[in-house]
C-alpha cells in the first residue's frame, strides 16, 4: 500500500482521505485550519455525510489515517492530492489562491518522484500552471522530480462514500505514465476487490491528457445542469399550453438516448458545484472569445425557477405582505446540510423582502447564519413550521416530507396552499386532506 497525503480537509478532502485510508493506504490529511484538524483527529466529522463518520472512526483507529497542520508531513508521500477550495472569484473565474499556496507547500516538502494530483475543480490549464508554480519554487537544478495529474472528483453530497467506492468512472489526466501511479491507488476500487465490492459492475478507468481531464469535470456538471434547466423550460411551457410535465418528462426520459435521471421539473439546482462550475466554464470560454450562450441560458432558467415561487404565491394569495409562509427544507438537496446556493435561502430572502413572516424546518439544518436567520423562525418539525401558515413551500425533497401526515399539516395551517417544488407530495392525498397542491409544469 502507498503513503498518501491529502491537502485540504473540506468535503472532498475528508472523503478522499478517509476512503483511501479505509482501503488500506497510509494517509495524512493536512489543513491550515487547526480546529478542523483537531476535530477530525478526534473522529468528529464537521459536516453531514451519511456513512463518513463510521469510516473515519475505523480509519483513524487503525492508525492508517492521521491529520495535521504541518505541511512537512507530506515528505515521503508518493502521491499528494490537492483538495483545497476554489471559490468563485471575479467574473466567475475560480479563485486559485489556495491551490497556489498548497503548491508552494508541496514544493518545500516533497521527495523525488512525487505525483501531485489536482482533485480540486480548477480551470482547464491549471495542471500546467501548478507544475510551473512548483518548478518556480524549486532549485533550477538538483531539485526533486515530480509529475502532475488531474483526477476530477464526481462526489455527490449525500452519497459521497458510495460515489467514491462505486464510481461509474475514474478519470486521470497526465503524461509520461504518471496516471498509472495514481491508478494503482484506486486498484481495489477498479477491481471492486475490497470488502463489500461489487465485481459485477467494475468502474471504467479513463486516461487522458491533462487539459482533457480538467474539462471532463466542467463538461459533466454543465450537461447535468443543462438537463435540469431543460426539464424546467419544458415544464414552464407545459403550464402555458395546458400539458402536464409529470406526464411529458417521463415519456421523454424513456428514450434511452435521453434517460430519465436529472429530467425532473421543480425548483432547479443549487449547491456548491453546478453554479460555480458553469460560471467558470463560461469565464474560460469568454477568455477565448466565445460567449457560451447555452450555458448562460442554463443559469438564467435556473434562476427563473426560484423567482417563479414568488409569482405562484402571489397568484394564489394576492398580497404577500403580512402573510405567514412555511419553508420545508433548507439544504440544497436531501442527504446533506450544505446551504451553498440553496434555493431555499434565495426564496426566503425574496419572501422577507415582500413582507412575509417566514418559518422553516429542515431535518438536518438546525440553524442559519446570522444574515440568513434574520426574520426566520426555525421550527421543531414540519407541523410547527406550518403553524398558522397561509401557505407551505416544499423546497427540499427529504423522505420525511413524502411521509407527512397531511391531515395534521392542514390542521396546523390557517390557509390550505402547498407549493410543492419537488413533486414529493401526492396531490390526491393532499386534496383529501383539504389541501390545494400547486407544482411546476402542471
List pLDDT tens digits, range 308-344: 999 999 999 999 999 999 999 999 999 999 999 999 9
pLDDT band at 284 (very low <50, low <70, confident <90, very high): very high
As its CATH architecture, domain 3-208 has: 3-Layer(aba) Sandwich (3.40)
- Note the pTM of the prediction, 2 decimals: 0.91
In the block, cell 493506504 appears at 25
Contact 239, 441 (CB under 8 A): yes
Q: Please report which residue ranges of 138-177 form alpha helices under DSSP H.
A: 160-165
Angle between helices 11-22 and 52-62 (to 10 degrees): 50
As its CATH architecture, domain 304-438 has: 3-Layer(aba) Sandwich (3.40)
Q: How far apart are CA 414 and CA 408, in angstroms?
A: 12
User: What's the average model confidence in pLDDT over 134-147?
Assistant: 91
Q: Where in the chain is the domain with CATH 3.40.50.720?
A: 3-208, 304-438
Q: Where in the chain is the domain with CATH 1.10.1040.10?
A: 218-298
Contact 359, 326 (CB under 8 A): yes
Kindly report the CATH number that applies to the domain delimited by 218-298. Answer: 1.10.1040.10
pLDDT in tens, 48-81: 899 999 999 999 999 999 999 999 989 889 999 9
Q: How far apart are CA 114 and CA 147, in angstroms?
A: 7
Active site residues: 273
User: What's the average model confidence in pLDDT over 184-205?
Assistant: 95
Which of 117-126, 166-175, 231-240 has the least mean pLDDT? 117-126
pLDDT in tens, 201-233: 889 999 999 999 999 999 999 999 999 999 999
pLDDT of residue 142: 83
pLDDT band at 422 (very low <50, low <70, confident <90, very high): very high
Amino acid at each position: 500500500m502507498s503513503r498518501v497525503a491529502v491537502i485540504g480537509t473540506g468535503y472532498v478532502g475528508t472523503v478522499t482521505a478517509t476512503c483511501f485510508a479505509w482501503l488500506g493506504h497510509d494517509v495524512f490529511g493536512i489543513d491550515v485550519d487547526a480546529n478542523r484538524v483537531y476535530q477530525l483527529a478526534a473522529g468528529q466529522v464537521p459536516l453531514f455525510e451519511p456513512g463518513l463518520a463510521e469510516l473515519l472512526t475505523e480509519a483513524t483507529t487503525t492508525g492508517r489515517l492521521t491529520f495535521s497542520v504541518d505541511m512537512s508531513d507530506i515528505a515521503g508521500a508518493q502521491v499528494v492530492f490537492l483538495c483545497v477550495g476554489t471559490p468563485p472569484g471575479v467574473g466567475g473565474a475560480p479563485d486559485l489562491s489556495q491551490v497556489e499556496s498548497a503548491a508552494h507547500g508541496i514544493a518545500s516538502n516533497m521527495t523525488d518522484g512525487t505525483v501531485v494530483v489536482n482533485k480540486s475543480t480548477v480551470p482547464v490549464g491549471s495542471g500546467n500552471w501548478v507544475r510551473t508554480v512548483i518548478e518556480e519554487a524549486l532549485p533550477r537544478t538538483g531539485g526533486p522530480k515530480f509529475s502532475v495529474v488531474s483526477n476530477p472528483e464526481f462526489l455527490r453530497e449525500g452519497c459521497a462514500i458510495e460515489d467514491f467506492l462505486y464510481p461509474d468512472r475514474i478519470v486521470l489526466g497526465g503524461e509520461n505514465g504518471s496516471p498509472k501511479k495514481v491508478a494503482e491507488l484506486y486498484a481495489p476500487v477498479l477491481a471492486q476487490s475490497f470488502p463489500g465490492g461489487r465485481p459485477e459492475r467494475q468502474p471504467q478507468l479513463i486516461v487522458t491528457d491533462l487539459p482533457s481531464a480538467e474539462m471532463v469535470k466542467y463538461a459533466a456538471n454543465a450537461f447535468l445542469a443543462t438537463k435540469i434547466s431543460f426539464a424546467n423550460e419544458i415544464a414552464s411551457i407545459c403550464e402555458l399550453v395546458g400539458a402536464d410535465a409529470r406526464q411529458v418528462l417521463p415519456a421523454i426520459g424513456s428514450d434511452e438516448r435521453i434517460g430519465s435521471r436529472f429530467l425532473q421539473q421543480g425548483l432547479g439546482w443549487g449547491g456548491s458545484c453546478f453554479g460555480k462550475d458553469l460560471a467558470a466554464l463560461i469565464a474560460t470560454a469568454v477568455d477565448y472569445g466565445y460567449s457560451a450562450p447555452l450555458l448562460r441560458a442554463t443559469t438564467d432558467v435556473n434562476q427563473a425557477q426560484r423567482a417563479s415561487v414568488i409569482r405562484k404565491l402571489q397568484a394564489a394569495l394576492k398580497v404577500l405582505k403580512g402573510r405567514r409562509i412555511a419553508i420545508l427544507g433548507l439544504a440544497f438537496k436531501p442527504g446533506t446540510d450544505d446551504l451553498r446556493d440553496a434555493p431555499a435561502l434565495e426564496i426566503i430572502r425574496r419572501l422577507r423582502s415582500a413582507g412575509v413572516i417566514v418559518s422553516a424546518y429542515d431535518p438536518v439544518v438546525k440553524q442559519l447564519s446570522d444574515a440568513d436567520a434574520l426574520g426566520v423562525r426555525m421550527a421543531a418539525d414540519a407541523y410547527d413550521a406550518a403553524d398558522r401558515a397561509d401557505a407551505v413551500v416544499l423546497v427540499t425533497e427529504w423522505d420525511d416530507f413524502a411521509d407527512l401526515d397531511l391531515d395534521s399539516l392542514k390542521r396546523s395551517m390557517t390557509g390550505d396552499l402547498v407549493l410543492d417544488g419537488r413533486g414529493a407530495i401526492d396531490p390526491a392525498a393532499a386534496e383529501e386532506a383539504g389541501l390545494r397542491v400547486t407544482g411546476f409544469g402542471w
